[in-house]
Amino acid sequence: MEHIVLVAETGSDIPKETAREYGIYLVPMHVSFGEESKPDGTFPSEDICSYYEKTGNLPKTSGSMPEDFEKIFTKIHEEHPNSQILYLAYSAVTTCSYQSALIAAENLDYVTALDTKHVSAGQYAVVVTMAKLLREHPEWSMETAKQKAEAIAKSVRMCFVPDTLEFLRAGGRVSNAVALCGKLLKLHPRIEILDGYLQATKKYRGSMAKVVPQLVKSYIEEQNLDRKELWLIWAPGLDQEIQANAEAAARECGVQKIHWVKTGGVITTHGGPGAFGIVGMVL
């Protein structure tokens, strides 16, 4: 019977402890602070915010390189020579990681790749849910496991709202005028992950204290999310009272289990400090 090992990028924001618990291997994405490049996951995401405050420059992110995947694939094959690898990728349209993995796995018949079309906690939900299912079903073939992973990925829904548009402006994703209007009018775009792309679909107005509980309730209802399990995303700087109110709003909707996911270096660079997000699966 073949043993299936899961691989994902650090951009999934899966904590190292969780990865160890489920035997998930994480391939580093990268963040550049000026001339210095660091593997994502090797520094606290608060460093992103402090670097921008000190320099006025936003760090730059990049995907995993072929050599990053080669190291992990080789490590897994040495430790589990009879295993098969299922790589559940960070959205392929947002980074070079997926293509890098295909290059690294070109002559490896024990590697199967799947674009989850998700980022951050969305990818987290897909990967960890699959890890749990593989424990329950060690008899699954790679073909069955891939089909299950595809179904899970299609059922996952994710959105987030930034506290400020400053990081989006600094990264060239919105104009100075839009960022200024957003600040003056207290506008927070709801950014959803749709077919792998990050798209603004709605705007909320007011403080994050007001917006976050409203978002939790509306998104759960609109998407008809499964109340058994929910992932809530927080970026450095999100007030603890807002987190408590978000959890209370989810409980009011009947959510039974809540997982809090802290943004890592990659998504913090894009969403900025104080951002909040929600991930669930459709019923």
Any idea what the Cα angle at residue 44 is, between residues 42 and 50, rounded to 5°? 125
Question: Could you give phi then psi for residue 72, rounded to 5 degrees?
Answer: -70, -45
Place of tokens 């548009």: 165
Going by C-alpha positions, the residue among 137, 282, 154 that lies closest to residue 223 is 282
Q: Which two tokens stand for residue 19?
A: 């990865």
pLDDT at residue 25 in the model: 98
pLDDT per residue, tens digit, the chain (283 aa), is: 569 999 999 999 999 999 999 999 999 999 999 999 999 999 999 999 999 999 998 899 999 999 999 999 999 999 999 999 999 999 999 999 999 999 999 999 999 999 999 999 999 999 999 999 999 999 999 999 999 999 999 999 999 999 877 766 554 444 333 333 445 347 788 888 999 988 888 888 899 999 999 999 999 999 999 999 999 999 999 999 999 999 999 999 999 999 999 999 999 988 889 999 999 999 8
> How long, in residues, is the chain?
283
Residue 8: count of CB within 10 angstroms of its CB? 27
Rounded to whole angstroms, the Cα distance separating 50 from 160 reads 22
Exposed e or buried b per residue across 91-100, where buried means at least 16 C-beta atoms within 10 angstroms of its C-beta: bbebbebbeb
Give the start-end residues of each E strand in 66-140.
83-90, 111-118
Q: Do residues 113 and 131 lie in contact, with contact meaning Cβ atoms separated by under 8 Å?
A: no
In the sheet with 111-118, reading across from the earlier edge strand, the strands are 25-27, 3-9, 83-90, 111-118
pLDDT at residue 174 in the model: 40
**CA-based radius of gyration for the chain:** 19
Rounded to whole angstroms, the Cα distance separating 153 from 15 reads 20
